[in-house]
Structure 1
Amino acid sequence: MTFRNVRVFFCILGAVFFLLNGSSASAEDQRLNLQAIVDQARPGDTILLKPGIYHGPVIINKPLTIRSEGEVPVELRNSNDLPVLTIHADYTTVSGLHIIDEKVKEEPTVLVTGHNAILEGLSIRTAGNGIMVRDADEGTLDNSAIIGIAEGIRMADRGNGVDIFNGHRWNITDNTIRNVHDGIYMEGSDDTLVVGNVIEQSRYGVHCMYTHRTIIQRNDSHLNVTGAMIMTASHVSVIGNMFTKQSENVNSQGILLYDTHESTVKDNTAYGNRVGLYVELSTGNILENNRVSSNFVGLQLIESSGNTIQRNQFIANVADAQARGSEENNISENYWDNFRGIDTDRDGKSEISYSINPFFQGLVQKRPAFQLFFQSPGMVFLEGLYETERERWTTDTAPLMVPPDNETSAGDPEGAAMTGIAGIILLVSTGVLFIWMRRRNI
Structure 2
Amino acid sequence: MTKRHISLLLCTAALVGSGVGAAWPTSLPKTYLVHQGESIQKAVDSAKSGDTVLLFPGVYHESVKVTTPGLTLRGMGHATVLAPPAGKATGDCGERGNGICVAGTKTKRLKDVTVSDLTLTGFPRAGLIAVGTDGLTVQHVTAANNGLWGIAEERSVRSVIRQNTAQDNGDAGVFLANTITAEQGATETQGTLISHNRLEGNRIGVTVRRLRDLTVAENNVSGNCAGVFVVGDENKPKAGNLTVRGNWVVENNKYCPKTARLPYLQGSGIVLTGAEDTRVTGNAVVGNTGKSPLSGGVVLFKSFVGVTSDRNRISDNTLDSNTPADIVNQESAKRNNTFEHNVCWASKPAGLC
- TM-score under structure 2 normalisation? 0.70
User: Hey, which of these two has a bigger chunk of helix by percent?
Assistant: 1
Quote the Cα distance in structure 2 between the aligned partners of 1:176 and 1:226: 16
Quote the Cα distance in structure 1 between the aligned partners of 2:45 and 2:326: 49
What are structure 2's unaligned runs of at least 5 residues? Answer: 1-25, 90-94, 104-109, 179-186, 233-238, 256-263, 290-295, 302-307
Q: Secondary structure at the match of 1:162?
A: strand
Give the match for residue 118 of structure 1.
114
1:322 aligns with 2:348: yes
Q: How much does 1:100 deviate? A: 2.2
Contact 2:59 2:83 in 1 (8 A): no
Q: How much does 1:184 deviate? A: 0.8
Identity, in percent, stands at 18
Give the match for residue 226 of structure 2.
226
Contact 1:217 1:241 in 2 (8 A): yes
Contact 1:49 1:74 in 2 (8 A): no
For each residue in 1:126-153, what CA deviation from the matched residue of structure 2 results, as whole angstroms up to 9, or x when unmatched? Answer: 323111101111110112211125xxxx
For each residue in 1:214-255, what CA deviation from the matched residue of structure 2 results, as whole angstroms up to 9, or x when unmatched? Answer: 100000011111110001221110000011111233533100
**Superposed, which structure 2 residues align to 1:11-410 within 5 Å?**
45-49=29-33, 51-55=35-39, 57-58=41-42, 60=45, 62-63=48-49, 64-68=51-55, 73-78=57-62, 84-96=63-75, 98-102=80-84, 106-113=96-103, 114-128=110-124, 129-148=126-145, 158-180=147-169, 181-188=171-178, 190=189, 191-232=191-232, 233-249=239-255, 251-252=265-266, 253-274=268-289, 275-280=296-301, 281-296=308-323, 297-304=325-332, 305-315=335-345, 320-323=346-349, 356=350, 395-396=351-352
Contact 1:255 1:276 in 2 (8 A): yes
Quote the Cα distance in structure 1 between the aligned partners of 2:28 and 2:159: 22
Q: How much does 1:312 deviate? A: 0.7
Q: How much does 1:76 deviate? A: 2.6
Contact 2:154 2:176 in 1 (8 A): yes
Contact 1:50 1:74 in 2 (8 A): no
The letter of the residue matching 2:151 is: V
Q: Which structure would you say has the larger Rg?
A: 1
The letter of the residue matching 2:299 is: Y
Q: How much does 1:284 deviate? A: 0.8
Quote the Cα distance in structure 2 between the aligned partners of 1:214 and 1:163: 15
Structure 2 vs 1, CA of residues 175 and 254 (structure 1 numbering), >3 Å: closer, same or farther? same
Quote the Cα distance in structure 1 between the aligned partners of 2:150 and 2:54: 22
Contact 1:74 1:96 in 2 (8 A): no
Give the match for residue 23 of structure 2.
none
The letter of the residue matching 1:218 is: E
The letter of the residue matching 1:139 is: L
Structure 2 vs 1, CA of residues 43 and 263 (structure 1 numbering), >3 Å: closer, same or farther? farther
Quote the Cα distance in structure 2 between the aligned partners of 1:200 and 1:258: 22
Aligned residue-pair number:
266
The letter of the residue matching 1:111 is: C
Q: How much does 1:204 deviate? A: 1.1
Quote the Cα distance in structure 1 between the aligned partners of 2:75 and 2:52: 11
User: Hey, which of these two has a bigger chunk of strand by percent?
Assistant: 2
Contact 1:142 1:173 in 2 (8 A): yes
Quote the Cα distance in structure 1 between the aligned partners of 2:113 and 2:133: 8
Q: How much does 1:44 deviate? A: 6.0
Q: How much does 1:57 deviate? A: 4.7
Q: How much does 1:171 deviate? A: 0.3
The letter of the residue matching 1:246 is: N
Quote the Cα distance in structure 2 between the aligned partners of 1:293 and 1:124: 35
Structure 2 vs 1, CA of residues 184 and 162 (structure 1 numbering), >3 Å: closer, same or farther? same
Quote the Cα distance in structure 2 between the aligned partners of 1:43 and 1:87: 21
Q: Secondary structure at the match of 2:53?
A: strand
Quote the Cα distance in structure 1 between the aligned partners of 2:205 and 2:114: 22
Q: How much does 1:168 deviate? A: 0.6
Q: How much does 1:102 deviate? A: 3.3
For each residue in 1:363-382, what CA deviation from the matched residue of structure 2 results, as whole angstroms up to 9, or x when unmatched? Answer: xxxxxxxxxxxxxxxxxxxx
Q: Secondary structure at the match of 2:133?
A: coil
Structure 2 vs 1, CA of residues 43 and 144 (structure 1 numbering), >3 Å: closer, same or farther? farther
Quote the Cα distance in structure 1 between the aligned partners of 2:100 and 2:198: 20
For each residue in 1:85-105, what CA deviation from the matched residue of structure 2 results, as whole angstroms up to 9, or x when unmatched? Answer: 110111111111523223696
Greater mean alpha carbon deviation, residues 244-253 or residues 209-218: 244-253
The letter of the residue matching 1:122 is: L
Q: How much does 1:199 deviate? A: 0.5
Contact 2:100 2:129 in 1 (8 A): yes
Q: What's the RMSD between the two structures over aligned residues?
A: 2.2
Contact 2:75 2:116 in 1 (8 A): yes
- TM-score under structure 1 normalisation? 0.56
